[in-house]
Amino acid sequence: MVRGALVMGATTGLFAGPAAAGPRRTPALHGTGRSVAVFGGGVAGLSAAHELIEKGYEVTVYEPSQLGGKARSMGVPGTGSGGRADLPGEHGFRFFPGCYQNIPETMSRIPFPGNPDGVAGNLVRVDGAIAGFRDLPPIFTPVELSGLRHLTPELLQTSIITAFAFVPQLPPLELAFFARQIALWFTSSDERRYGQWEYVTWEAMLRAEGKSAAYREYLVNALTRITVAAKPHLSSARTIGTIGEALVLAGTGLIPQFSGGVDRILNGPTNEVWIDPWVGYLRARGVRFVPGQRATRLHLRDGMITGVTVAGSGGTATAQADWYVCAMPVDKTVALLSGDILDADPHLAGMLELVTDWMVGIQYYLRQPTRLPQGHVAALGTPWAITALRQAPMWRGDFAARYGDGSVRECLSVDVSDWDTPGILYGRSAKDCTADEIAREVWAQLQRWLNTSTDWLRAEDIHSWHLDPGVSWSGGAIHNETPLLVNTVGSYDYRPHAHCAIPNLFFGGDHVRSHIDLATMESANESGRAIANAILDAAGDSGPRVPIHPLVSLPVFEPLKRIDADRFRNGLPHLMDS
C-alpha cells in the first residue's frame, strides 16, 4: 500500500458578478492529519506541493509521465554528442507576461546558482515582435506602449489605434471601432463581465460580421489565436477581454505590480532553468515523488475520500493520505468523476462540459542562425495560426557548444494553434497530416509569411526538427495526449473551485477558477496556491495563508465601471454599446 498525498487543485473564485457564485467552502474538519497526496506533477501539482511542504505538510506527488507537464522541456534522444546535451525540445515555447504575478513569485523562491532572486532571475524581457503577413513585407513592432504617464478611455483608444496601425488593408474607421470596443471592455463592470460578456463570444463583442476581411482576419481572428491560442467564434468575451486588458496594462508600465513588461521568456530550456531546480528544491524539502503512477479511481466512504487507486507499469496500489488533490488536466480529471463522487458534489459534473483543443509545438534546429530580429514571431493570418520564437539568441551560452552535434546554431520554436484548418502545401488540416507533412507545412507557411522581402528562412539550413511527443499516430489516427482547455461561452459556470463538497478532496489545474481565467501557467500556479489555502482551512490550521495575487486595474476606470454596474442592474446596455 502506497502512503502519500493526493492533491487535487483548484483556484479561488472570489469574483463579482451574477455569474460568479460565491466559493463553495469545504467544511472544516479540524483534524490533525498533515499528509497530502497530489495527483499530477505539472505546474498546478508542483505549486501545491511547494506551498504545502513549506507549511510543514507531508507531500507525495504521483506523476504518470513527466514532471512539469505541458511546461516541461525535453531532450531529443540521441542528438547530443561530444559531451554536449541532447537538442532541447518542448511542448511549445512559453512566455511570462508582466501581468503574471503568482508564478514569478513562486519562481523567486526556487534557488538557482548565482541568482539572488532564484529561478525568476532566468526571465529575460522581450521588447519587440515580428508581425508577418501573407505575401506582404513583415513588420518589426514594439510590444509595449511607451511614453504613457497616465491612461484614460480616450488615450486608451488612441494608443490602440497607434499600436495596430501597421495592419494592412484595414479601414481606419474599423480600427477606430476596434479601439472603441476595447475601451468598452475596460469600462465594463464586473457585473456585466460575468453577467453578459461571459455569454457572448469575443467575435460577437467585436462585431466582426459585416466588417472587412482585414478586420476579421487580423484583429479578430489572428490576434486572438496568436496571443491566447483561442478561437474568437467560440471563446467567451470575458475570458479574452480579461487577458487582453492585463496585457495592455502590462505594456503601459503604469501598474507597479506588472513590472515585467508585456513579454518575458526563460534564458534556457525550461527544465534546465526552472523545472529541474524546482523539483530538486521540493525533494530537498521532503516532497516524495512517485513516477509512473496515474490516479484511476477515487474511493469514497461516508462522504470522505479514503484512498485512491494508482496504476502504472508495476500494477496497481492504493495511495492513502489525509488530504487528496487532483491536479491533473481536465480531460484526465473527468475520468475520476464516478457516480458516487458526483452524487456527493453535483457541481463537479460541470467539468464534463468543458472543452479542450490543440496547441502543439515543433522545433526546427538550424545550421545557421536566422536573420529574424529577436522576439516573438506572429505569422498573422496563417491557416494554422503559427507563432514562433528564436530561442538561441536569448539563451545562456553558445548553443552549438552546449547542445546537439556541434553543427546546430539555432532553435526556432514554433507553436501551431489551429489543427483543423487546411494548410497551403497539402490542403489538409494538421490533424490530417503525418508528422513529416506537419513539419513541411509549418515551414512552408513560415516562409510564405516571412520571406516576402528577405531570405530569413532557408530550407537548406534545417538540420532536423522535433514535434511534441504528446502527438502520436496509431492505426492511421492522430492522438494528442496534452490538449488545452478552451474557455467557451458560459464555461465559467462549469469550472470547479479548489475545494468541493467532499471535505478532503481538492482540485487544481488551469481549468479551475482563477483570476487570469485562461489555460496558462499562471492560472495553474494560482490553483496550487488555492489548494494549499483550502487544505489549511479544512484542517483548521492557524498558520498564515498563501498570498494569491489578483489582476490589477487602473483606478481611472472605476467611476465608469460603477456607472455601468448601475446600468447593468437596471437592464441597460453599456453606454458605449450602441
CA 508 from chain centre, in angstroms, equals 14
Question: Smallest Cα–Cα separation from 92: which of 367, 470, 510, 347?
Answer: 470
Average pLDDT over residues 438-446: 98
Measured distance between the N- and C-terminal CA atoms of the chain, rounded to whole angstroms? 64
* pLDDT at residue 314, as a whole number: 87
Domains detected in the chain? 2-65+292-354+489-538 (3.50.50.60), 73-101+118-126+359-480 (3.30.9), 147-256+559-569 (no CATH)
Q: 147 pLDDT band (50/70/90 cuts)?
A: confident
Q: 12 pLDDT band (50/70/90 cuts)?
A: very low
**18 pLDDT higher than 90:** no
* pLDDT at residue 144, as a whole number: 81
Per the model's pLDDT, the better-predicted residue between 49 and 25 turns out to be 49
pLDDT tens column, 168-211: 999 999 999 999 999 999 999 999 999 999 999 999 999 999 99
* pLDDT at residue 31, as a whole number: 46
CA triple 305-311-315, angle to 5 deg? 125
**13 pLDDT higher than 70:** no
Long-range contacts (CB closer than 8 Å, 24 or more residues apart) made by 336-340? 336/295, 336/296, 336/297, 336/298, 338/297, 338/298, 340/300
**513 pLDDT higher than 70:** yes
* pLDDT at residue 471, as a whole number: 97
Per-residue DSSP letter, 504: T
Question: Smallest Cα–Cα separation from 269: which of 68, 70, 73, 470?
Answer: 73
Per-residue DSSP letter, 229: -
* pLDDT at residue 294, as a whole number: 97
Q: Where are the beta strands (DSSP E) in 26-106?
A: 35-39, 58-63, 73-75, 88-90
Question: Smallest Cα–Cα separation from 237: which of 263, 209, 258, 207?
Answer: 207
Residue 299 and residue 306 in contact, taking contact as beta carbons nearer than 8 Å: yes
pLDDT tens column, 443-468: 999 999 999 888 899 999 999 999 99
CA distances from 146 to 162, 299, 310, 344, 396 (A): 11, 56, 53, 53, 28
Indicate the average pLDDT of the chain.
92
Q: 22 pLDDT band (50/70/90 cuts)?
A: very low
At a CB cut-off of 8 Å and minimum separation 6, what does 542 contact? none
* pLDDT at residue 32, as a whole number: 55
Per the model's pLDDT, the better-predicted residue between 287 and 314 turns out to be 287
Average pLDDT over residues 385-409: 95
* pLDDT at residue 262, as a whole number: 86
Rounded CA gap, 422 and 17, in Å? 40
* pLDDT at residue 62, as a whole number: 98
* pLDDT at residue 149, as a whole number: 82
Q: Which residues of 551-575 are buried (b: 16+ CB within 10 A; e: fewer)?
A: bbebebbeebbeebbebbeeeeebe
Q: 371 pLDDT band (50/70/90 cuts)?
A: confident
* pLDDT at residue 374, as a whole number: 83
**219 pLDDT higher than 50:** yes
Average pLDDT over residues 502-525: 96
Q: Are strands 35-39 and 323-326 parallel, antiparallel or unpaired?
A: parallel
CA distances from 314 to 60, 311, 317, 512 (A): 18, 8, 9, 31
Q: 260 pLDDT band (50/70/90 cuts)?
A: confident
Average pLDDT over residues 240-268: 92
Least confident of 180-194, 226-240, 242-256, 421-435: 226-240
Per-residue DSSP letter, 235: B
Average pLDDT over residues 520-537: 98
CA triple 463-467-472, angle to 5 deg? 140
pTM of the model: 0.93
Residue reference for cell 478561437: 231
Average pLDDT over residues 11-24: 38
Q: 55 pLDDT band (50/70/90 cuts)?
A: very high
**16 pLDDT higher than 60:** no
Share of the chain above pLDDT 90, in %: 84
Average pLDDT over residues 32-55: 96
* pLDDT at residue 193, as a whole number: 98
Rounded CA gap, 403 and 263, in Å? 26
At a CB cut-off of 8 Å and minimum separation 6, what does 156 contact? 179, 182, 183, 186, 248
Rounded CA gap, 319 and 513, in Å? 27
Least confident of 122-136, 487-501, 521-535: 122-136
> 3-class DSSP state for residue 160?
helix
Maximal CA-CA distance, the chain: 72
